[in-house]
Amino acid sequence: MANVAVIGAQWGDEGKGKVVDLFSRDADIVVRFQGGNNAGHTLVVDGQKTVLHLIPSGALHANKLCVIGNGVVVDPQALLEEIQGLKERGHLLDDSLLRVSEEAHLIMPYHKSIDLARERLRGKGKIGTTGRGIGPAYEDKVARTGIRFIDLTEEETFREKLRHNIEEKNIYLKAILKEKTLSFSEIHDTYCGYREKLKGYVTDTALLLDREMKAGKRVLFEGAQGTLLDVDHGTYPFVTSSNTGIGGVCSGAGVGPQNIHQIIGISKAYTTRVGSGPFPTELKGPEGEKLKQEGDEFGATTGRPRRCGWFDAVGVRYAVRINGMTGIALTKLDVLTGFKEIKICTAYRADGATYYEFPSSLCVLERAQPVFEVMDGWGTPLSGTRKLSDLPKNAQKYIRRLEEILNTEMVLVSVGPGREETIMLKNPFSS
Ligand code: IMP
């Protein structure tokens, strides 16, 4: 009986939505454990595209319990809109199938104002955040001034915390960020409205998960963003504000590590990054443009074009190590069709030194030149292929070489956005 965690092995946007949707078939419960509505998980089912930001990607399957864990920061307005959107499409009709942790922190309007204003002031040095207030919400959590769902349900606690926060944030917004101040009563009333609409979903999700796992239910932990955006292990400070890696599962869902049996890293067959920060294999010319167009590389949350480059095996090998990944799901292999040559970055060169391991220094990463291994490409479209042995020989060689370099087996290869456009190699739930 396995529980499975799905973790991004790059800078996010690896195609986790599709993989989680596929693995959800074998899970009883799907859990988000970090991040917020900065995530954008795109799912294509029967040709219909759905983008989820907060609700676990299991929501498109009937009768799966979807859990938003304590490690997620929740914008209640965004959550309500997403619930509504799913219901309109005939999903999530049973409210008991969505549970939100009472310990999850709320994203407040001042978090969004601060996020946007800071980015504006940073100018060239901006992080390129999604502007959803994610960083400031996590800051308050660590500063012990955050407001959790449980606080929202206790009127006195909520008023007191909000009043204190508004006083402090308004000084910061006005004097430092030169922004408009916010009204206590407006926010108070709006959030009391959210409380009424959401209270039926809020519960002790760690306890719920413990009981369900003891009852033999299978759990899929759905990571958002990617390892290289992890606040501890990513390309700091060009990262998001949560632990996107495997460590985030335990703290963000309230489960012990012995409950995680398989850790599947999701990686594109090339690399993308949205927002600022170092990206050693970035292609700034026509090849990058081709990847962007063929891969439809535009952010699911902000619509921003993604920066594109060759597969960075230094980064993914690091993600495998940091997370103890037991397998890799390789996505968007079809996008590489038509390239005469395909490159894999196996090391970096910077200042006369060669780096085989992912460097912590931002300066090194910014100067890093990729050392490439070059492989022959293929011309045949892949989207109709369902068996590894039916792929063009060079595509098979590419996959085998990646397995060698990463020292990890592939469990799935995705050859198109649809559920069926998948080569399933191993079911992690039956491992
Ligand atoms: P934040 O998470 O909005 O604070 O943004 C911090 C960095 O993480 C920025 O570079 C964002 O573009 C990036 N980021 C946040 N969420 C995602 C995601 O779901 N996919 C890819 N990049 C993301």
Q: How many domains does the chain have?
A: 3
Look up residue 404 and give its amino acid. Answer: E
129 shares a domain with 48 = no
Q: Are residues 364 and 424 in the same domain?
A: yes
The CATH number of residue 300's host domain is 3.90.170.10
Binned at pLDDT 50, 70 and 90, residue 179 comes out as very high
Which residue puts its alpha carbon closest to atom 9 of ligand 1? 129
Region 308-328: what's the mean pLDDT? 98
Give the percent of the chain with pLDDT over 70.
100
Domain residues for 362?
267-430
What confidence score (pLDDT) does residue 41 get? 85
Mutate to test the pocket of ligand 1, among 42, 130, 244 (most ligand atoms within 8 A of CB): 130
Could you tell me if 345 and 389 are in contact, meaning their C-beta atoms sit under 8 angstroms apart? no
The larger pLDDT score, comparing residue 40 to residue 284, is at 284
Contact 5, 221 (CB under 8 A): yes
Helices (H) and strands (E) in the chain, counts: 13, 20
Give the residue numbers annotated as catalytic, written as ranges.
13, 41
Q: Can you tell me the mean pLDDT for 173-200?
A: 97
Mean pLDDT over 285-290 rounds to 96
Last residue of a domain, one of 183, 198, 213: 198
Band of residue 50 on the pLDDT scale cut at 50, 70, 90: confident
Do 422 and 314 belong to one domain? yes
The answer to whether residues 423 and 337 belong to one domain is: yes
Q: Are residues 294 and 371 in the same domain?
A: yes
Supply the pLDDT for residue 303: 86
> Which CATH number goes with the domain that contains 124?
1.10.300.10
Is the Cβ–Cβ distance between 245 and 233 less than 8 Å?
Answer: yes
pTM of the entire predicted model:
0.96
Amino acid at 313: A
375's tokens? 């492989």
Q: For residue 382, what is the DSSP state?
A: -
Is the same domain home to 49 and 64?
yes
Residues 312 and 411 in one domain: yes
> In this structure, are strands 341-350 and 311-312 parallel, antiparallel, or unpaired?
parallel
Do 27 and 91 sit in the same domain of this protein? yes
The rounded distance, in Å, linking the Cα atoms of 98 and 55 is 8
Q: Is the CB of 10 under 6 A from ligand 1?
A: no
Judgement on whether residues 9 and 130 belong to the same structural domain of the protein: no
| Nearest residue to 344 via CA among 399, 275, 295 | 399
Q: Does the N-terminal peptide bond of residue 237 adopt cis geometry, omega within 30 degrees of 0? A: yes
Q: What is the tens place of the pLDDT at every residue in 343-393?
A: 999 999 999 999 999 999 999 999 999 999 999 999 999 999 999 999 999
pLDDT level of residue 1 (50, 70, 90 thresholds): low
Q: Is 275's C-beta closer than 6 angstroms to any atom of ligand 1?
A: yes
| Mean model confidence pLDDT for the chain | 96
Same domain, 22 and 69: yes
Domain boundary among 216, 243, 263: 263
Claim to verify: residue 251 and residue 364 sit in the same structural domain: no
- Cβ–ligand 1 distance for 128 under 6 Å, the answer yes
Angle (nearest 5°) at CA 349 between 346 and 355: 60
Tell whether 271 and 256 lie within a shared domain: no
CATH classification of the domain holding 25: 3.40.440.10
Among 263, 285, 303, identify where a domain stops: 263
Number of Cβ within 10 Å of residue 344's Cβ equals 22
**What would the two tokens of residue 191 be?**
């959030």
Residue 365 makes CB contacts below 8 A (sequence gap 6+) with 235, 278, 280, 348, 359
Q: How do beta strands 98-101 and 202-203 pair?
A: parallel
Q: In this predicted structure, what is the pLDDT of residue 172? A: 97
Each residue's pLDDT tens digit, 4-30? 999 999 999 999 999 999 999 999 999
